[in-house]
């Protein structure tokens, strides 16, 4: 199981490939996992937001986790997204992930029903009581409610919670937590990856690592070894791509790139997600053609 001391580096919130019929494409998924593992990533997140978790059935999650674990052969931690907006369902999924051999679970703040801060804290406590290491996940732009610094501190104090994925849309929460808590925070917003390292983040769960894993691993290595200027330059070189990847709803742009590079067989998504516009496709192709070794 993953410990808080190990929660550092670049984790990939891996996409869930679908074939033309809409079924999960495990062949493409395994190829993508192996491709990422060969490029130095520090871990995988299966069934996260980038993996289209709202439309992936638990039986499909089980197949994805088994495929990922077999592909990495125990050399990389596999984290499984188990969070829902129902505490009982989240607990059940966390238990099931444990039986699958998940190294940790990623549990998002409950979405849509907008619980109180007390309700959010209790939700995480119930998940942590299962006994599988929990990474709390704050993403208020998607959930409708976010963690206050005080609630985040209380959640991080729970036994079994090993860290936080911070997609709060800035550095304010991280800077508060750097004062209040010693448990690791991972950046969950690609555009803040470098800034959050500077503010104390231990790494990131970064969408762009699906397509440029080596560059993001290098950025983390440079920063960890004290070369903040080198890390900044590496990150700034990636910013144009990051902006394109979030110009339309994630993970459509990422899937387009992976399909056009032949890493997955199709850019298909499940409704209500749809493929990117022709205009963005042209912009991505133009970027890829001129970006050179940075993205090859």
DSSP letters, 201-265, are --EEE-GGGGT-HHHHHHHHHHHHTT-HHHHHHHHHHHHHHHHHHTSSSTTHHHHHHHHHTTSSS
Q: Is 183 a catalytic residue?
A: no
For the record, the structure tokens of 167 come out as 């997609």
For the question of whether the overall pTM of this predicted structure is more than 0.75, the answer is: yes
Task: Give me Rg for the CA atoms of the chain.
Answer: 18
User: Bridge partners of 43?
Assistant: 11
Separation of alpha carbons 17 and 168, rounded Å: 27
Separation of alpha carbons 14 and 157, rounded Å: 28
Q: Is 137 a catalytic residue?
A: yes
Residue 161 sits at φ, ψ, to 5 deg, of: -90, 120
Whether domain 6-212 has CATH 3.20.20.70: yes
For the record, the structure tokens of 133 come out as 């290491």
* Residue 62, CA atoms < 13 Å, CB-side half-sphere: 8
Residue 172 sits at φ, ψ, to 5 deg, of: -65, -50
Residue ranges of the binding site for pyruvate: 50, 205
Contact 281, 259 (CB under 8 A): no
Residue ranges of the binding site: 50, 205
Separation of alpha carbons 290 and 296, rounded Å: 11
Separation of alpha carbons 23 and 16, rounded Å: 10
pLDDT of residue 143: 95
- Asked whether residue 296 carries a pLDDT value surpassing 60, the answer given is no
The percentage of the chain sitting over the pLDDT mark of 90, rounded to a whole number, equals 95
Separation of alpha carbons 184 and 162, rounded Å: 7
- Asked whether residue 62 carries a pLDDT value surpassing 90, the answer given is yes
- Asked whether residue 42 carries a pLDDT value surpassing 60, the answer given is yes
pLDDT tens, position by position, 257-293: 999 999 999 999 999 999 999 999 999 999 988 886 5
DSSP state of 110: P
Q: Cα–Cα distances in Å, from 262 out to 32, 68, 194, 228?
A: 10, 19, 29, 34
Q: Which of 75, 111, 126, 165 is catalytic?
A: 165
Q: Which of 92, 111, 126, 137 is catalytic?
A: 137
**Closest CA relative to residue 21, chosen from 224, 233, 268, 194:** 268
Residue 45 sits at φ, ψ, to 5 deg, of: -120, 115
- Asked whether residue 245 carries a pLDDT value surpassing 70, the answer given is yes
* H-type alpha helices, 129-184: 140-143, 149-156, 172-180
**Closest CA relative to residue 256, chosen from 232, 289, 282, 291:** 282
pLDDT tens, position by position, 134-171: 999 999 999 999 999 999 999 999 999 999 999 999 99
Contact 173, 149 (CB under 8 A): yes
Averaged confidence pLDDT in the chain: 96
Contact 167, 185 (CB under 8 A): no
Q: Cα–Cα distances in Å, from 133 out to 113, 159, 199?
A: 25, 9, 24
∠151-146-87 over CA atoms, to 5°? 75
């Amino acid at each position: 199981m993953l410990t808080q001391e190990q929660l550092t580096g670049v984790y990939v919130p891996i996409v869930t490939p679908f074939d033309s019929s809409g079924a999960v494409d495990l062949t493409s998924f395994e190829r993508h996992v192996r491709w990422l593992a060969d490029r130095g990533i520090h871990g995988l997140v299966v069934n996260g937001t980038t993996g289209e978790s709202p439309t992936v059935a638990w039986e499909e999650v089980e197949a994805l986790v088994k495929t990922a674990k077999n592909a990495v052969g125990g050399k990389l931690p596999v984290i499984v997204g188990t969070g829902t907006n129902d505490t009982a369902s989240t607990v059940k999924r966390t238990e099931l992930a444990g039986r699958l051999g998940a190294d940790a679970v990623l549990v998002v703040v409950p979405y849509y029903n907008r619980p109180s801060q007390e309700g959010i804290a209790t939700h995480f406590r119930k998940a942590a009581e299962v006994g599988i290491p929990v990474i709390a996940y704050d993403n208020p732009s998607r959930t409708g409610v976010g963690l206050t610094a005080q609630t985040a501190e209380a959640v991080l104090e729970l036994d079994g919670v090993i860290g936080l994925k911070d997609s709060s849309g800035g550095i304010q929460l991280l800077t508060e937590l750097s004062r209040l808590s010693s448990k690791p925070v991972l950046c969950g917003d690609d555009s803040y990856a470098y800034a959050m390292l500077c503010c104390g983040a231990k790494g990131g769960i970064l969408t762009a690592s699906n397509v440029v894993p080596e560059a993001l691993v290098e950025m983390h290595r440079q920063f960890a070894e004290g070369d903040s200027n080198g890390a900044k330059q590496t990150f700034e070189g990636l910013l144009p791509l990051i902006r394109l990847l979030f110009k339309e709803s994630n993970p459509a742009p990422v899937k387009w790139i992976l399909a056009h590079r032949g890493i997955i067989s199709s850019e298909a998504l499940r409704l209500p997600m749809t493929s990117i516009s022709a205009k963005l496709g042209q912009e991505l192709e133009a970027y890829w053609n001129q970006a050179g070794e940075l993205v090859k």
